[in-house]
Amino acid sequence: MNENVVKSVLGLALVIITCSTASAGDVSLHGFVQGNYARDTVTDDPDGKDYKLSEERAQLKLDAAADPFHLLVKEDAFYDNLDKKASTELREGYFDFTAEKWDARVGRQIVTWGVGDLLFINDIFPKDYAAFFSGRPLEYLKKGVDGAKIGLYPEFASIELIAIPYFEPNNYPDPTRFWMFDPMAGITNREAQGPYRDLHEAETAMRIYRDVAGFDTSLYYYRGYSRQPSIMPDNPVTPTKLTLFYPKLNVYGASSQGKAFEGVVSLEAGYYDSSQDRHGTDPMIPNSQTRYLIGYQRQLWEDFTLGLQYYGEYMQDYSAYVQNLPAGFPQEKHLHQLATMRLTQFLMNQTLRLSFFTFYGLSDGDYMLNPEVKYNLTDAIWLAMGGNVFGGGKPWSQFGQFAKNDNVYTQMRYEF
Amino acid sequence: MRKFSLVEFSVEHPKLVVVLTVILTLLFMTQFPKMRTDTNPKNMLPATSDVRVWNDSVEKTFGLYEDTIAVGIVNEKGVLNPDTLGKIQRITDEILKIKGVAARDVSSFTTIDNVSVENGTLRVAPLMTAAPQNAKGIDALRKMLYENPLFINRIISKDGKTTAIYAPLEKGANGKEIADKIREIVAKEKGEEKFYVAGDPVARDTFGAEMFKLMAVFAPIAGMVMLIVRYLMFRDLFLSITLMMDAMISIVWSMGLLIGLGFPIHIMSSMAPVFLMAIATDSMHIFNEFYFRYRETKNKKQAILETMRAVSRPVRNTALATAAGFGVLLFMNIIPVKVFGGLVAFGTIALRVLSFSFIPAMFTFVSEEKIAKIAAREDVEHGRTARFLRKLAGLGADHSKTVVAVGLVLAVIAITGIAHTKVNNNLVEWFKKDSDVRTADRVMNAALGGTDLGYIVAIAPNDDYIKTPEAMRYIEGLQRHLEKLPVVGKTTSVVDYVKRINQVLHDNNPKYDAVPDKKETIGQYLFLFSMSAKPSDLDNVVDYPFKRANIWVQLKTWDAKAMQTVISAADEYKKAHPTPMEIKPAGIAYFNLVWNHEVLWDMVKGFLLAVVAVFCVLALDFRSFKWALVGYIPLIFTVLMIYGAVGFAGKDFDMPISVMSCLSLGMAVDFAIHFVSRLRQRLVDAPGESLHDACCWTAARPGKGIMRNAVLFAASFAVMIFAPLTPYITVGAFIVTMMLLSALMTMLYLPALITLLQGWLFEGGTNMKRVAATSLVLAFVLAASVSSAADNGAELMKKSQTAFLYAGKDFKARVMMKLVSSGGQERIREMTMIRKNYGTTGGEQKYFMYFFQPADVKDMTFMVWKHPGRDADRWLFIPAISMVRRIAAQDKSSSFVGSDFSYEDVSGRYLEDDTHVVVKEEKIGAKDCVVVKSTPKVDDVDYRYKLSWVDKTSFLPLKEEYYDKKGDLYKAFTADEIRDVKGIPTVTKRTMKNVQSGHITEVTFTKVDYNIGVEDSLFSERYLKQPPRRMIE
């Protein structure tokens, strides 16, 4: 329903802008068609299929502008070979208004904050992890948010204010596609409480940024909800029914990125204020946390870049958490640490890209490896092949639980 | 591959740097209240050192005191009169009350024991209980005095005009404080008597205290003088103060560190501030060069950066050399020497860090007009100093053989002088001749047995041996032998008591003024004496088991070598007259000898180590042993000359002079480093110039800095010549001479040596050979081509870069890049490129690029902030995920969007990274071009050198060729179409071909425009995400 509202507003805007600017010729239409397939390599999916993903997709990108307005619409249409169904999806659709000292963007838009590479602290906007784990192009990790963004540009700093009327959760891998750890796997009676798609779930976020001593420095604020659901059993001893809900969350954070040590150094931290469980006594709601990351990226030789990151999540009120954790639940670490490494080598005048990305859980010993080869056959056609390999750690740890989901994927795209 | 540049950071964030410096300084300052001082020069040797342990044990055995003050009372009419004797009595009584004086052992008329016979028995009683009031009493006293040899030359002079009161000091008492109290006491006595307070503790502690005071007074005065001289040189108070602050801050840091680490400030470390102030003058070179640069660029920031680039290497290396020179002291034995070395080395490093941060930061606060005014006066050609220096260098270069020959002769003479050097140290002579301390010493030494005291301890193999006649006679013989030495005034031992008792017990018969023949008799006498005398009388000369005897040797001079002759004489005597007794020196005179010896030789050892360390630094800096050797010669020459002069002048080579040796090395090497580095750089920068002219240029320009440095240094240290302590005068004179001499030597001898040794210096497989050969060829080529004689490579490349990459205030074009592989496959990169200049050629630039093609990067934007001399900042906006992030890429080795252009080819390589040499002239089509060869100074790119064909009219590069490490052509650029846009010739079509892979990139510029008024705000995250349409179209 909401999609339709957005679409009709955009449609109207489009008509207006197209008409008014048709003569100026400021309308462009681009897009792509792609095939995207990911095949299991260890074992079939829980539902017996041997692909994580198999789809053909087309995107149309319409860009129209008449100062001070600008409109962009990205609409996907795809056919899912696994579920055997066709569908459409509005990836982005917004219009901009630009003034000298401020601007506004209204509609479905992708917002990316923070300085982490695939590690998100202050980027609290919705993600699609199912897409990420099943070998879709990276851009599909980000989901658009429906909302309004105001940019203010006074002399001393730049400010982004975002209001999202309807809460949008993250998209996690589907249990029919992915083997995952479920602490209460036996209870199948599950009910989702929200998102209600009403204004009670409105979210607000703010970012203030400027250059500080050569470092791009930002401060962040977010008030909304955790995009990961919490599970509430009806009875803590012998549960029969589970309710999924999204606890309140405030995030306060900062990041900085700049040139140092002959490379780029990134620093980011955020405090996750779990306002519904400030004392950490509720085992079903995550405790407040402090998250931080340090990243370093450097070109070591021509067209080869190394990126390293260290990430930590420090749980507040840990003793309260341990005390209240129901028996049989895996206990999280007080400090959960992670490291990542990215290697990128371009070859053949930057038409061939070899890349390797890995997560390694310093606390749990689990990992995810993602090697990929991408080749631009021509300026319009590219082909990428890669794999996702999971393992290590405990059966419930972040990447360890996906151990049976190793896959190889192919992306082919013709872009115009 | 440039590192984080402290200088640039400081220039960009001057306030931050200044605030940080101030905070750091305040932090170090917080340590100051914890300051402890140790003014006792004795502590140069630790309490656990052998000599101190031995002296302590001797003092314990014989109940001796470490230090004794001698108060001399002189009356030309003779002291034996009721009035003077009354005064002696009063003064003695007062002295006995002073805290810190060992009252029981004060020797004076009223306290000293006299041995006589009364009614046939031995009587030991004070010489005088009350001053006699009549002639009879006086006569009796005179008789008693003169018949007892123990008194003569000790408490009464032979002529009766001088007497002395000896006040031994309790351990830890301050000799200066007690001496001051005694002076107060004697000042109360009116009359014709003269009073003198003398003794080692007076000199030593007075010196320690004075030294501290002087440091507190002198350091600021020297600082002020430096400030004034700087002001006179630069006429800018702010900058002069800045330079001063540089020194002050480093002093605060190093002293703060010293205090913070818990070391007391010792006399040696109290000198560190002055040394640091001296070393800080090296930053003069930054100033010197800055004004020259400013004249050239007229842009302050630019000038700062260029200055730092030009002088950073020599400045850094001089700091390194100086720090090394002092750092080696850390390996010495004497702790205060170590502390001093470490302190100055740390301070030197701190100074350099400040030179690269604080000073450039402060520069930015000075108004441009002011700089312009000062800079106007800095002229290489016309300044008087510059002309003089140029002539000096010319003299060296033109008459190199004569100059070197004269130098050799002087060196030989100097070495002869050094051979005459007398190693000696005399604490008292650290005071001026007419100072109280020294006068007192002179008077008393002339009249009495001597104020300096050493001991010769005879240690017998078994108890009671000392009582034997042979031991007694041996000691007596030794005493007589020692007394033959001119420096020895009087000796006293247990034998003197035995003989005195023998004589008085035999009715004062002079026949009995001898050692008795029997051990029993001697034992008996000594027993009798000990029963009635003060216990200390006997204790002072013999221990209780009669195993050890102590001979007091009073010396008439504080020369350390005096004790040396005593020791030699004792050894000599022992050799000639074998004895079972061991003979060992002790006492304060012995301590002074050892102390002086250790410190002095430690410094000499340090100096030799420093010579090696500094040579290594030089060799590393110049990357050539030959150059290091050449640079070293004026340095060694200066040191030779000075020490030769010291030798000829008959001045003792003492501790202050030995301390100077390290400083001289550390400072004088600076000049050589500056001169050689800048000369070699000049040879590279101005390849057409002859060696002779390059030497002259170096002498006139960096040489001016060297001269200023020397003058400044000399001026501030000249103040020291007026100090009341001779070591300061020595140090002052030494530094003034050394600075001026070594600056002149550098300016005269380096050109001479370089000219003379050029064949040897420039031969071999080093780069220098190539540079020299090229410059010789070029000199020929350039001479032949009059028209372009003025343009050297660097200037030409600068013009070329200005025309090619810095034209207009800003620039915009639609850029179409066609990448064609050797197989013929084409790829297109289409973008709008916007550029804005911030500063002149080589300065900051910002680039904004918006991509239209290929489709997978459409809407991508890319921003570059280019900084001169270091890697650019780069941001990339990826529209698919709406993310702006910095990318780590290095200018020198990164292909621009996969094309054959590197980032540097697109935005320009920093000119100072290469040496540019004009190779030839050639026509391209109808256009006259100059071909410039640019060779990277550091091997940081994938080519060895580049040839550029620069159009003589437009200065655009019409052709460029890149040669790889093997010397093969691998990349070629051609400007295929040039159009005038708004009057600016612009390369609108160009090609870069990778000759080895066959890959080609063709670039076409359309919609070219200049000076469109690009706003700064364009270069921001906001517009990266939403590029303004009217700009990118």
CA A349 to each of CA B247, B338, B665, B861, B1000: distance values in angstroms, whole numbers, following the listed order: 53, 59, 56, 20, 11
Q: B889 contacts in A (CB within 8 Å)?
A: 299, 305
**Among partner residues A109, A302, A382, which is closest to B856 by beta-carbon distance?**
A382
Would you call B62 exposed, middle or buried from its count of C-beta atoms within 10 A (0-12, 13-18, 19+)? buried
Residue-range definition of the domain harbouring residue B833: 793-1032
Nearest-angstrom CA–CA distance, B844 and B294: 17
Residue A254 pLDDT greater than 90, yes or no: yes
Query: Over 90: is that where the pLDDT of A306 sits?
Result: yes
Which one of A350, A381, A382, A414 makes the best mutation probe of the B interface by having the most chain B beta carbons within 10 Å?
A: A350
Contacts of A351 in chain B (CB under 8 A): 827, 898
The rounded distance, in Å, linking the Cα atoms of A79 and A249 is 36
CB A108 within 8 A of CB A144: yes
Whether residue A195 has a cis bond before it, omega within 30° of 0: yes
Nearest CA in chain B to A140: B881
At A15 the pLDDT is 58
CB contact under 8 A, A351 and B898: yes
State the nearest Cα–Cα gap between B284 and chain A, in angstroms.
29
Kindly determine whether residue A302 and residue B4, on different chains, have CB atoms separated by under 8 Å: no
Cβ A262–B873 below 8 Å, yes or no?
no
> If you search the block for the tokens 């502590």, which residue do you land on?
B43
Comparing alpha-carbon positions, the chain B residue that sits nearest to A352 is: B898
pLDDT of residue A336: 93
Which residues fall within 8 angstroms of residue A76, CB to CB, at 6 or more apart? A57, A58, A59, A88, A89, A90, A91
Measured CA to CA, the distance from residue B730 to residue B720 in angstroms comes to: 8
Name the closest residue on chain A to residue B1016, using Cα atoms: A155
- Cβ neighbours of B942 in A, within 8 Å: 302
In chain B, residues with a C-beta closer than 8 Å to the C-beta of A416 are 855
CA–CA gap between residue B440 and residue B443 (Å, rounded): 5
> CA B835 from chain center: how many Å?
49
Residue B922 lies in a domain: yes
Query: Which pLDDT does position B126 carry in this prediction?
Result: 81
Regions of chain B with pLDDT less than 50: 1-3, 764-791
Orientation of helix B335-356 relative to helix B237-260, angle to 10°: 140
Contact A280, A316 (CB under 8 A): yes
Cis ω for the linkage preceding A126 (within 30 of 0): no
Closest by Cβ to A158, choosing from B13, B819, B1022: B1022
Please write the tens of the pLDDT for every residue from A326-381: 877 888 899 999 999 999 999 888 899 999 999 999 999 999 999 999 999 988 99
Q: Among A1-5, A391-395, B148-152, B990-994, name the most confident range.
A: B990-994
| Interface contact A32-B855, CB threshold 8 A | yes
**Number of domains chain B is built from:** 1
Residue pair B849/B1015 in contact (Cβ under 8 Å)? The answer is no
Q: Which of B2, B858, B895 sits opposite A303 (nearest CB)?
A: B895
- Measured between beta carbons, the chain A residues lying within 8 angstroms of B882 are 109-112, 142
Q: What does the mean pLDDT of chain A come to? A: 89
The pLDDT assigned to A196 comes to 77
Nearest to A264 among B13, B880, B888 (CB): B888
A112 with B897: Cβ contact below 8 A = no
- 3-class state of residue B931 by DSSP: strand
Q: A209 and B873 in contact by Cβ < 8 A?
A: no
Nearest to B703 by CA among B751, B735, B738: B751
- Residue B121, judged by CB atoms within 10 A of its CB (0-12, 13-18, 19+), counts as exposed
CB atoms within 10 A of CB A88: 11
Neighbours of B338 (CB within 10 A): 18
| Bridge partners of residue B972, in order along the sequence | B961, B993
Cβ neighbours of residue B470 under 8 Å, at least 6 residues apart? none
The residue of B1, B827, B878, B993 whose CB has the most chain A CBs within 10 angstroms, and thus the best one to mutate to test that interface, is B827
Q: How far apart are CA B290 and CA A240, in angstroms?
A: 82
Chain B residues touching A259 at Cβ < 8 A: 4, 871, 873, 886, 888
Instruction: Provide the CATH topology of domain A2-415.
Output: Porin (2.40.160)
* Rounded CA separation B808/B803 (Å): 9
The CA distance from B896 to the nearest CA of chain A, in Å, is 9
Cβ burial of B891 (10 Å; 0-12, 13-18, 19+) is: buried
d(CA A130, CA A123): 18
Closest residue on chain A to B883 (Cα): A112
For the purposes of burial, counting CB atoms within 10 Å of the CB of A207, is it exposed (0-12), middle (13-18) or buried (19 or more)? Answer: buried
Instruction: Return the domain boundaries, chain A.
Output: 2-415
Contact yes or no for A299 and B881 at CB 8 A: no
Take residue B903 and report the two structure tokens written for it. 């980032």
Q: What angle separates helix B702-718 from helix B272-280, to the nearest 10 degrees?
A: 150
Query: Does the residue B845 lie in any domain?
Result: yes
A215 strand-pairing partners:
A212, A258
CATH code of the domain containing B982: 2.50.20.10
Task: Give the pLDDT of residue A313.
Answer: 94
CA nearest to A97 within chain B: B1026
Within a domain: B183: no
Q: What's the CA gap between A306 and B6, in Å, rounded?
A: 25
Query: Which of A257, A299, A415 lies at the smallest CB-CB distance from B856?
Result: A415
- The one-character DSSP state at B105 is G
Cβ-defined contact of A216 to B871 (cutoff 8 Å)? no
Q: Which amino acid is at B319?
A: A
Peptide bond into A371 cis (omega under 30): no
Amino acid in position A387: G
* Domain assignment present for B692: no
| Contact: A349, B4; criterion CB under 8 Å | no
Q: How far apart are CA B637 and CA B798, in angstroms?
A: 42
Looking at residue B760, what is its pLDDT?
A: 76
pLDDT for the residue B4: 60
* A255 to chain B, closest Cα gap in Å: 12
Q: What share of chain B is helix, strand, coil (3-state, %, to 5)?
A: 55, 20, 25
Residue of A nearest to B12 (CA): A213
The tokens describing B428, both together, are 């008292």
Question: Over the range B711-738, which residues count as b (16 or more CB within 10 Å of their CB) and which as e?
Answer: bbbbbbbebbeebebbbbbbbbbbbbbb
Pairing of strands B265-266, B37-38: parallel
d(CA B781, CA B312): 33
φ and ψ at B642, to 5 degrees? Answer: -65, -45
Closest-CA distance of chain A to residue B883, Å: 5
Residue closest to B215 by CA, chosen among B174, B258, B269, B280: B269
Contact A103, A70 (CB under 8 A): no
Nearest to B1022 among A153, A380, A416 (CB): A153
Q: Which CB contacts under 8 angstroms, 24+ apart, belong to A5-14?
A: A6/A90, A6/A93, A6/A107, A6/A108, A6/A146, A7/A90, A7/A93, A9/A107, A10/A71, A10/A73, A10/A93, A10/A94, A10/A95, A10/A107, A13/A69, A13/A71, A13/A95, A14/A62, A14/A64, A14/A71, A14/A73
Cα atoms in the 13 Å half-sphere on the side-chain side of B587: 28
- Per residue in A85-138, pLDDT (tens digit) is 999 999 999 999 999 899 999 999 999 999 999 999 999 999 999 999 999 999
Q: Which residue of A has its CA nearest to B903?
A: A302
Interface size, chain A vs chain B, as Cβ–Cβ contacts under 8 Å: 121
